[in-house]
Amino acid sequence: MPIIFFISGLIIGSFLNAAIYRLWTGQGIVYERSICPHCKHVLSAWDLVPVFSYLFLGGRCRYCRKRISWQYPLIELVTATCFVLLAQNFQFSISNIQFWFQLVFICFFIVIAVFDLKHYLILDKILLPGSVLALIYAIYTHHLPQGLVGILIISGFFALQYFISKGRWIGFGDVKLGIFLGLIFGIGQGIILLFLSYLVGALVGVALIAADQKEMGSKLPFGTFLTFCGIIMLLYGKEILSFYLQLIGF
Ligand SMILES: [Zn+2]
């Protein structure tokens, strides 16, 4: 059973790659044929087998031999792994609608994370449908009130920073992303998500400064940390929350 989720994850991951690329170039996401970004050759089905085509072609385009980014197989593998881990959380029972909601949220998170990392941008085109879906999810799981407070906490926190710093510390995209995340995670998990994101952000920041890649105060894609930690929270949120509550003595 896990293998089915893994293979579906590889295929969806390959679709997410295309979506990330086309959201940037402005092409249609679903109907257009895939092309090589270098030579624009239309790719055949054999060029598009997730991970395997990349390995088989040695990470190069079949037609122009230019390098293909390792982002492609990596995202396919990450998506596949997330699918298996999430399905495991639900004991591989796909009749649970919450599973499908969370699966779609993971896909949204992957797209937002990679897109913000590459372009320092969180698109409304992604946030809007995501937030509508998160609203339906909050209503369906009867945690809409918590979701709304979650928005106040996450978006409110970012909005405050945005206005104090006049957009230097954080982008307005993060404020909007807080709506999507607040609805999904509510209060407890929402606060932990914030903590976790700042922790990961700080670690990455320190590592980059140590490696001389960034200067103190230079820009980091915070949406990437938030959605990366969002995936962790979707997969392990309950465990992390109870660990944290134990830690502070509840
Ligand atoms: Zn090519």
- pLDDT (0 to 100) of residue 217: 64
Domain-by-domain residue ranges, the chain?
A: 1-95, 96-250
Alpha-carbon gap, residue 165 to 176, rounded angstroms: 17
Q: Which two tokens stand for residue 72?
A: 């492609």
Q: What is the pTM of this model?
A: 0.93
Please give the sequence-ordered ranges of beta strands (E in DSSP) within 11-100, or none if there are none: none
- pLDDT (0 to 100) of residue 241: 86
Each residue's pLDDT, cut to its tens digit, for the chain (250 residues) gives 789 999 999 999 999 999 999 999 887 776 678 889 899 999 998 998 999 999 999 999 999 999 999 999 999 999 999 999 999 999 998 899 999 999 999 999 999 999 999 999 999 999 999 999 999 999 999 999 999 999 999 999 999 999 999 888 888 999 999 999 999 999 999 999 999 999 999 999 889 888 877 776 677 899 999 999 999 999 999 899 888 888 888 7
Alpha-carbon gap, residue 135 to 126, rounded angstroms: 14
* Burial of 71 from C-beta contacts in 10 A (0-12 / 13-18 / 19+): middle
Q: Which two tokens stand for residue 249?
A: 């003595």
Measured CA to CA in angstroms, residue 168 lies from 124, 131, 171, 181, 213 at distances of 20, 25, 7, 22, 20
- pLDDT (0 to 100) of residue 201: 92
Strand-pair partners of 35: 42
- Contact (Cβ atoms closer than 8 angstroms) between residue 43 and residue 36: yes
CA 59 to ligand 1 centroid distance, Å: 11
- Contact (Cβ atoms closer than 8 angstroms) between residue 68 and residue 54: yes
CA 35 to ligand 1 centroid distance, Å: 8
CA 39 to ligand 1 centroid distance, Å: 4
CA 164 to ligand 1 centroid distance, Å: 47
CA 123 to ligand 1 centroid distance, Å: 28
CA 37 to ligand 1 centroid distance, Å: 7
CA max distance for the chain: 61
- pLDDT (0 to 100) of residue 118: 94
CA 53 to ligand 1 centroid distance, Å: 13
On the CB side of 89, how many CA atoms lie within 13 Å of its CA?
20
CA 67 to ligand 1 centroid distance, Å: 8
CA 50 to ligand 1 centroid distance, Å: 17
- DSSP assignment of 199-234 equals HHHHHHHHHHHHTTSS-TT----HHHHHHHHHHHHH
- pLDDT (0 to 100) of residue 249: 82
CA 140 to ligand 1 centroid distance, Å: 46
Q: Which residues contact 224 (CB under 8 A, 6 or more apart)?
A: 112, 113, 114, 116, 117
CA 233 to ligand 1 centroid distance, Å: 38
- pLDDT (0 to 100) of residue 216: 64
Question: Taken in order 14, 16, 17, 22, is the CA torsion positive or negative?
Answer: positive
Strand-pair partners of 42: 35
CA 78 to ligand 1 centroid distance, Å: 25
Question: Taken in order 71, 72, 74, 78, is the CA torsion positive or negative?
Answer: positive
CA 7 to ligand 1 centroid distance, Å: 26
Please give the sequence-ordered ranges of beta strands (E in DSSP) within the chain, or none if there are none: none
